[in-house]
Amino acid sequence: MNNELVVYIDGEYYPKSQAKISVFDHGLLYGDGVFEGIREYNGVVFKLKEHVDRLYRSAHAIMLKIPLTKDEMVKAVVETLRTNKLKDSYVRLVVTRGEGDLGLDPRKCPKPSIIIITDIIKLHAEGAKENGITAMFSWVRRNPVDATTHEIKSLNYLNSVLAKIEANANGVDEAICLESNGYIAEGVGENIFIVKNGEILTPPTSTGALAGITAEVVVELAAKLGIKLTVTNLTPFMLFTAVEAFFTGTAMEMVPIREVNKRQIGNGKPGPVTKKLMAEFHKVIEDPTNGIKA
């Protein structure tokens, strides 16, 4: 137990094996809560302020008052990492509505629960970055913007889980979700980009996708490199006929897509624009000024 990682729950640390919350927590009963997935690179929590800002925006949208200030939240993440002596890790920040009764009314939940899990990161499949991954359009549409939209990073992830199940069942690495009009929204936990005529295209968040922090880095890098980037609706056809495509996300970082629904993308290998951006992206995550030291 001495070497066991600890988990922060409401200001206390518990060994991983004993880190538990109530079965009456509405995060479990109704998916009523919000979360963030963050990475620490070499002792620096990448874009921690941006993730905490997004967490509070998500909480605001579901009228959940987080009982810590943003600064206190940043401190709690840093302290949890220090306690666990982690240098390269994955941070999962969760705020649930808290314990209530067996009715969905959030007024029955007087105190939100704050959970901070820090753990070692599992890397994605061997060769994903070098060779690219396969993807498929899922039958499950992204939740519309006037429903449990993924603009809110809420605990309602069944939409993404169903899409992932479909990809798994078909032996494909990742699923892509379309929005209600048939335009491309995003991956299950990734934003998506294509390259066409030397230009980068990516869907708007008004299709119900999350405003990704990794995607934002790519937008900044494209500007810095002088590559035109346009936010616009993308059709499945546009992806099938793109010369390059890639996913971005905290867990996946940047990963090329080599095949979609059995159609080869470009020449089936990571293209020059993707490779250039990936190289630049690695410089960004290694730069300690892009995060907060743990």
With respect to ligand PXG, which residue has the nearer C-beta, 92 or 275?
Answer: 92
Is 276 known to be catalytic?
Answer: no
Q: How far is the CB of 122 from ligand PXG (least distance, A)?
A: 9
- Decide if 133 contacts 174 (C-beta within 8 A): yes
User: Binding residues for ligand PXG, how many (CB under 6 A)?
Assistant: 17
25 is a site residue for ligand PXG (CB under 6 A): no
236 is a site residue for ligand PXG (CB under 6 A): no
- Which has the closest alpha carbon to 229: 269, 196, 186, 271? 196
Give residue 190's identity as a one-letter amino acid code: E
189 is a site residue for ligand PXG (CB under 6 A): yes
- Distance, CA of 132 to CA of 146 (rounded, Å): 34
With respect to ligand PXG, which residue has the nearer C-beta, 32 or 186?
Answer: 186
- Distance, CA of 111 to CA of 11 (rounded, Å): 13
Strand 291-293, strand 184-187: pairing = unpaired
From the list 12-20, 133-141, 164-172, 208-216, the region that binds ligand PXG by CB under 6 A is 208-216
Strand 113-120, strand 6-9: pairing = antiparallel
213 is a site residue for ligand PXG (CB under 6 A): yes
150 is a site residue for ligand PXG (CB under 6 A): yes
Distance of alpha carbon 88 from its chain centroid, rounded?
A: 17
Q: Which of 84, 148, 191, 205 binds ligand PXG (CB under 6 A)?
A: 191
From the list 55-63, 72-80, 162-170, 189-197, the region that binds ligand PXG by CB under 6 A is 189-197
Q: Which of 109, 178, 201, 215 binds ligand PXG (CB under 6 A)?
A: 215
Strand 229-231, strand 199-202: pairing = parallel
159 is a site residue for ligand PXG (CB under 6 A): no
- Distance, CA of 119 to CA of 90 (rounded, Å): 5
Q: How far is CA 60 from CA 29, 154, 155, in A?
A: 20, 11, 14
Q: How far is the CB of 97 from ligand PXG (least distance, A)?
A: 19
- Summarize as ranges the residues that interact with ligand PXG (CB under 6 A): 37, 150, 160, 186, 189-191, 209-210, 212-215, 248-251
